[in-house]
Every structure is written in C-alpha cells, then in structure tokens.
Amino acid sequence: MTREVPAAVIAGVPVDGRHWIGGERVASGETFTDISPIDGSVIGEIARGTAEEAAAAVAAAKAAFPGWAATPRPERARILHAIAGGVEKRLEELAVVETTDNGALLRSHRRGVMPRVAHNFRFFADWLLKLEHEDFETRGHTNHVSWDPAGPCVLITPWNAPLMLATWKVAPALAAGNTVVLKPAEWSPLTASLLADIAAEAGLPAGVLNVVQGYGPEIGDALTSHPDVRRIGFTGSVATARRIAASAAANLTPMSLELGGKSPLLVFADADLDLAVDLAVEQYDNAGQVCLAATRVLVEETVAEEFTRRFVGRVSRLKQGDPRDEATDIGPVIHPCQLEKIDGFVQRALAAGARAVIGGHPEQGQYYAPTLLTGVAQTSEIVQEEVFGPVVTLQTFTGEEEAVRLANDTRFGLAATVATGDPERAGRVTAQLVAGTVWVNCFFVRDLRAPFGGSRRSGMGREGGTWSFDFYCDVKNTVTAPNGWKAHG
C-alpha cells in the first residue's frame, strides 16, 4: 500500500517527494521527513524507497537502454543542452530549494553552484561530439578505438553539494548513452527531484533517468547489488564505499569512488602570507563540509606566529548565520547528527591537549563556530580522520622534507594546496605529494577537462573529460586486416 506524499513547497516552488521511475511519479509505503538545517523546520515528506523501488528503477533503466544507446550522438547532445537550458531557466528556484534543503549559502548557489550544474551538461554534451581516438596501424592492420555505452548506471551522491555533484556523474553517464538510476542523499533529496522534472521537459525519454530516494540499507544495497547494473558511481564516505564494494562484488560491477579527504595546505615562509591566509579561510566554505577542504594547515615555523595572527583576524570577521542572507559567510551544519560528530572530534582533541585558538564549540541551532586547533599530534584523531565541518588544525614544519612528510602522513590523498613564492620549490614539493589534485597558490579551481579523483582511501578511478567516458563506457578496439574485403566465391 502506497502512502500519499504531498509536494513540498519552498518559497513558492513545489517539489514532488515521490520517486521518478520510468517517466512517472511513484510513491512508497513509507516516507521519511526532510528537515531544513537552517532552522530545523520540516520541509516535507519524502518517499522512502525499498528493494521494490530499486528493482523497478533498474528495470526501467534496462528497458530504456537500447533506445538511448542507439540515439545518435548529436541528438543525445541536443537533449543534454536542453537540460542545461532548463537548469538555467530555473536557476533561482534550484538555488533557493537547495539552500533550504542543505544549508549552503544562497549566494554561492546563485553565482557558482547552479551555473556549474548547467555547465556539467553542456560540457559533456560537447565533449561527446569530439570524443575520438586517432586510428593507428599494427603491421598494416588498422586499430580503431570506440566507446560503447555500458548499460544502466547507479549513481549515489552526497548531501554537501547535491545537484552539482550528482550532475557531475549524471551528465557523462547520459552523454555516453547509458541510462541512470540516481539516489541522492536522504538529507538533501529535493533538487534531484527537480532535475527529473527538468530532464523530462527537455525531452529525455522515459526510463533514461530515474530518481529514487531512501536509506542506504533499505534501497542502496538493492541498487548496488543488482545484476543488471553495469556501473556504480559514488561520492561519499569510506565506510559507505566499503559497503558498496562488498555489495557489488558478486557481479564484479565496475565502480568509480570519490571518497573522503584530509587534505593539507602547505604554507612556506616565502609565500604571500595574505594569499595564504585567504586560502586557509576558504576551507570554511560550506561550513567546512567539503571533501577537498585543506583542513590540515602546515606552516613554516618562522612565519607561523604571523600567519596565525592574520588568520584569526580574518576569521573573526566572518559572519555566521542564515545562508539566505547575502552577507552570511558560514551557514549551518547539515544535520544534528553531523553537528554532534563534529563537536565530538573537537572535544576529544581538546581533552587530548589541543588548544582552540578560535571556536571549539557549537553555536545556537545547527551552527558550529569556525575552529582552529593547535597543539595537535600528527598521530591524533583530529589530524588523521575526516571531520567534515568548520574545523582546521595548524602544525608547523622547518623545511621541505618535513612539510612533505607531514602532508603525506594520512591514509587519504584527495587534494593538496601549496603556498610558495618559489616556482622551483613548488615543482619539487608537488612532485612528492600524494593527491589526486594539487593547487599552487590557488584553491578549488576545477576544469572538467582534467582528471578528478583521489589516491589511497580517497577513492578509486578518475572522472572528467575523456576519463569519464572511459569509465561510463566499454572501450573497444577494433582491428581490421589490410585488403581483407575480398568476398568469398
């Protein structure tokens, strides 16, 4: 028996809380409550999917796959551009809904995040049309490389940048000719539902994109263990990735995993200190709920005192509050459970001897004060484990060798940032850092042509540009003999 799910209405924008399967809205027997982190208010009830909805979504994706895979590249690209146009048309609505749902800054959604969502579709639509590999010969035989659609893909995406990170996967998967079952995080499901509406309005055939909501153990496991699923893309925690890998193992389903980070920011004495401070303050973006965040600030000993003084001055001027206010710099943490987790990390660090130079405590509601901890040991939990909140540690070093050793001394390897005024030093240091992305005197500059992913426990595989098509396709090499066209008889 299904349960009625009235649409959530946010600033006049209705959002359907039911699943989107095979081009239709589908309810479930149960729902879960979606709550805004801004003030704890109830946004609406969301269909709580089970193995039944998982099976239906995969079946719809499987049925739609032959037709979509056979759709000529220019037509697939046209529809992806139409989806991008729909995103741009509804940009303000998407921004308001996502801010209400996950608490990130409205100004960031308007100016950066939602435009990037549209760009994700436009970029992969255009890349599809120029995707090719030059033919080459082997003893007179011609080798031709092609990218064949793999089949239904399950994409499981996180709550910290819901629509942008979802479309980072959805766009190349669709461009490649695959069909998709998207499961957004249960803490921020709303813009995925709006994406289903936009895609349908753009002319995407029924079943090519399906959206299902729910909890990992109830629907996620059923999706990742399904034998008809040909690819799994996941962004989230290491613990969840282990569960997905175990679930997918029986079918040997290929996975692309973008996981946690504990990234370093290395500040050398020859760096522009004001720039270095700006880079460090950026790590509080989205209340520190960014996998790429350089939460371990490593500063050369001779400038550490001055760096800390300037950093504290800058952070003290940040405004924390309602993310819908254009003047706000730091919004709330996504959920009470996440707030409790963040504070647990901080309080254990303080009990172990760390010092809170600033912050170190929750604020009213679901807000956590931007925090800087010093006096932390390299082996301590606060240095080694991902907090995923507005918490930064500061350690010092005396030279390049020690800086690199400290930077690489975690189980992660997602990103790293280097601040230095010496190009030669930058080259030496970046060559030794274990990270999927390294920024020098900048942060969070991402081009979709570049490979993106993590090393060590920060992930598996790379996406972006042709790397995305390599993952979402079966790459095939066809070898043709010379003069082999003579008909028999």
* Residues recognised as catalytic: 258, 291
Q: Edge to edge, what strands does the sheet with 473-480 contain?
A: 136-138, 141-149, 473-480
The DSSP line for 117-185 is: HHHHHHHHHHHHHT-----EEETTEEEEEEEEE---EEEE--SSSHHHHHHHHHHHHHHTT--EEEE--
Indicate the Cα dihedral angle 125, 13, 216, 383, nearest 10°: 80
Distances (CA, A) of 447 to 30, 136, 452: 41, 29, 9
Q: Which long-range contacts (CB under 8 A, 24 or more apart) does 26-35 make?
A: 26/53, 26/56, 27/2, 27/3, 28/2, 28/3, 28/53, 28/214, 29/1, 29/2, 29/3, 30/3, 31/3, 31/5, 32/186, 32/213, 32/214, 32/215, 34/8, 34/101, 34/187, 34/189, 34/190, 35/335
Element (H, E) at 264: strand 264-267
Do the beta carbons of residue 272 and residue 421 sit within 8 Å? Answer: yes
What is the β-pairing status of strands 13-15 and 24-26? unpaired
- Residue listed under structure tokens 């993106």: 452
How many CB atoms are located within 10 Å of the residue 217 CB? 9
Q: Which residues contact 184 (CB under 8 A, 6 or more apart)?
A: 157, 159, 162, 166, 191, 192, 211, 213
Considering Cα of 372, then 373, then 375, then 381, what sign does the dihedral take? negative
Q: Are strands 31-35 and 24-26 parallel, antiparallel or unpaired?
A: unpaired
Beta-strand pair 31-35/42-47:
antiparallel
Which residues have CB under 8 Å from 309's CB, separation 6+? Answer: none
163's tokens: 């629509």
Tokens, residue 483 = 């003069």
